[in-house]
Amino acid sequence: MKKLSKSIISVFIFSAISVFTSCNGVVFDTIREEVKLSDAQIQGTIHSLIRVTDSSDLKEYLYLSANPVVWKKDIDNAVKNGGTDSTDYTTSEHGHWLTTSRPGNNYVRLAANHNGEIYSLSSIVKEVTDDGEMEEISRELKYLDTSVKDAGWQTVTFADESISSEISLDSSIFCTNTPKYENRYAFVRIDGKIYKLEGGKATLIEESSEYNFTSGDNSTSIYSSARGVSTFDGRIFYFTGSAAITSNESYNSDATMIYYADSTTVYYRADGDSKWTAVSCDSSAIRSIAVTKDKLLLGTTSGLDNTALNEGKPTGSATTISANATSTLSSSYIVPILLTIDPTKSDTATDIYAASNFEGNPSSTSATRKNASLWSYYPARSKWNRE
């Protein structure tokens, strides 16, 4: 079993932590020299950031899990206004997150589907008193039905009765996380098998024309190691062994491109393509990606990079986001999560969220614990800052 010290457990027990000839163009470096930093409402290691259409009120929310609190934020106005209404708090001010019920007392990772159901994979941890270390012993899979007012978290049931409420450590949860709620689907991998999550149940799926598990080299199957998924239309799903996967779907248009990253290589696939196209990237290892109108944002182990898109295809040219200049999301930090609210808009015209973290002792780098938090960019604010 994996043992984790108290000082590093917040780095996340079961984290996913999860063309280009020169993709290094670091977007941010020293924002504190340009703008006063806000006090962060969301601090610590961010494990998940997902879109949820709450069935109880039909509003659009972001749900976030962090150490092990679950937060939510109404983004409906931001989506409708596209970041142009400076009187709307979601586009002009940081924060305004509300705590909500959580599925357990330990570290939680979230996924959501088109029914407004939220699924959680959380760790069960015990303290080893003789050496003062913490030990993850198993995980548990639960769901929340937002269509039922004041519903509580319930245990997911499996058709396979050999799987108990305590899930193996060899597990991962992920979802398409699409802007269109009807294209949102959630999956969990347990001991090399993939299950679709819907109606509070986990149903085993196999490789098929509907479920594509071909990796970027277009030959190797990653069925037993999948950690991410995307879709063009909500009917055919492309799985990857990386959590860094997204599409250019918007609230008003279907996806035409899917992107994912593995180490320093980015793969892309246009709708109708029979295979992935690989592009080598000169950046640090990529942990997350997000799409804007003309750029692909790359969250790496050394800060936030970007590369230009030409008709949806990464070009390899590195550019600086002019409105941001530099930021604390620099080479001292890992960026494991990125999310753009509207991929059809430029990086200066849509809300963007990024989680930052660091590894090792901050005293040996310029990293600070205050900056290990959620960051956001709002067009009305026009600067990256703590969320």
- The model carries a pTM of 0.85
Separation CA 338–CA 326 (nearest Å) = 17
Residue 234 belongs to domain with CATH number:
2.130.10.10
Q: Which residue type sits at 157?
A: T
Which of 56, 98, 57, 52 has its CA nearest to residue 79? 52
Separation CA 378–CA 267 (nearest Å) = 28
Say what the alpha-carbon torsion angle 138, 243, 212, 196 is, to the nearest 10 degrees. 40
Separation CA 284–CA 279 (nearest Å) = 14
- Six-digit token pair at 126? 């015990």
Phi, psi of 24 (to 5 degrees): -75, -20
290 CB-near residues (< 8 Å, 6+ apart): 246, 296, 297, 299, 338, 339, 340, 343, 352
What domain range includes position 16?
3-386
Sign of CA dihedral 257, 261, 262, 267: positive
Q: Digits of tens for pLDDT over the chain (387 positions)?
A: 444 444 434 433 333 333 333 443 344 444 444 567 777 888 778 999 999 998 777 789 999 999 778 999 988 654 444 444 433 434 445 678 899 988 877 788 999 999 999 999 988 887 776 777 778 778 899 999 988 878 899 999 987 766 766 788 889 999 999 999 999 999 999 999 999 999 999 999 999 999 999 999 888 899 999 999 999 999 999 999 999 999 999 999 999 999 999 998 999 999 999 999 999 887 889 999 999 999 999 998 888 888 889 999 998 765 545 444 345 566 678 899 999 999 999 988 888 999 988 776 655 566 677 777 898 888 877 778 888
**Number of folded domains that form the chain:** 1
Separation CA 72–CA 50 (nearest Å) = 10
Residue 363's pLDDT is what? 59
* CB distance 302 to 329 below 8 Å: no
pLDDT tens digits along 257-287: 999 999 989 999 999 999 999 998 878 899 9
Residue 324's pLDDT is what? 47
